[in-house]
A and B are shown apart, each in its own frame.
Chain A
Amino acid sequence: MVFGTVTDTSENGIEIRAESDGTAITLRVTETEAAVEPGGVVQVYGTLEPNQTIAGERVEVVNSSRWAEFYKYGASAIGALGFLLLFFRYWRINRDTWTLEARDG
């Protein structure tokens, strides 16, 4: 199974760029009708064939386009900010001992 970023889509398959341990390779995924734009991310499970080709047995679209990635980081940023605000409403840093202590506790 490989994860890859879609670089090109055509009628008979998609082209992905998969990265592992800092090395990137381009793979052609055939036998798939996954709805995905370039910039999207897919998981591919299938059989590796010659000429850097995978016959896709199961292709799952993680991000259908680049926008899906922005959505995730946006929601996560809101989460991080909200958490920090909430946390310091109930806890504070004691600067004498450098520990976290409960407010009004």
Chain B
Amino acid sequence: MADLLTHLLVPYVLLTVASWRVDWLDQRGVVVGMGGAAIPDLIKVRIVVDESTVETLLRMPFAYGPLSTFGGILLLAGIITVAFERRHWGRVFGLVTFGGLTSLLLDGMRVYADGRASAWLYPFTNWRPPTPSLYVSSDPTVLVVAVLAAGTVTLLDRRMRARN
């Protein structure tokens, strides 16, 4: 997967641009969407806490893999949503899910030697979508592009808000 910084910057760019047209979407909402983009990266918790350790604690089979799938995003988005005040629930759920999906889409475009990305649409389908194989996860170009895009959008955003 792309690094976490890139994952966060993609929904920042998309949602900030959307906020120029969508009245209810403000910077608070943009930040919530960025949080959703971090969900697929929670899979990396396994470096710290091994799956077998969690299995022993829960006394049931456990895997981190589904966190990087559509189903995992929906489940975690639900859990995150209820941590917010009730009046924000609808928008928070939508924004977190959106952010998570941008990460999955971005990860679905990286290189796989057999030309097909992981089955990230699980549990809706086990089909592995074809990947355009645009980058490998350690390629700094991805982050450079994301940082440049985010910088440009930040400047434009300031100008837009100064005008209003």
Interface set of A (CB-CB < 8 Å, partner B): 1, 22, 43-45, 58-64, 68-69, 71-72, 75-80, 82-83, 86-87, 89-91, 94, 97, 99-102, 105
Contact = CB atoms under 8 A, between A and B. Distances in A.
A79 B8 contact: yes
Contacts of B83: 99-100
A14 to B, nearest CB: 14
A77 B8 CA distance: 12
Contact of A75 (B5, B27, B114): B5
B19 to A, nearest CB: 13
A61 to B, nearest CB: 7
Given A76-B41, A86-B31, A43 B113 contact: yes
Contacts, number: 90
Interface residues of B, number: 30
A91 B28 CA distance: 7
Could you tell me the dominant secondary structure of chain A's interface residues?
A: mixed
A75 B3 contact: yes
Nearest to B110: A62
8 contacts: A44-B113, A60-B112, A75-B143, A76-B41, A76-B44, A80-B38, A83-B35, A91-B28
A10 to B, nearest CB: 21
A61 B5 CA distance: 22
Given A90-B27, A91-B31, A45 B113 contact: yes
B23 interface: no
A44 B114 CA distance: 8
A105 B84 CA distance: 13
A43 B4 contact: no
B4 A60 contact: no
A100 B85 contact: yes
A97 B88 CA distance: 15
Interface string B21-49: 00000011001101100100100100000
B137 interface: yes
Nearest to A88: B31
Given A90-B31, A91-B31, A105-B28, A83 B8 contact: yes
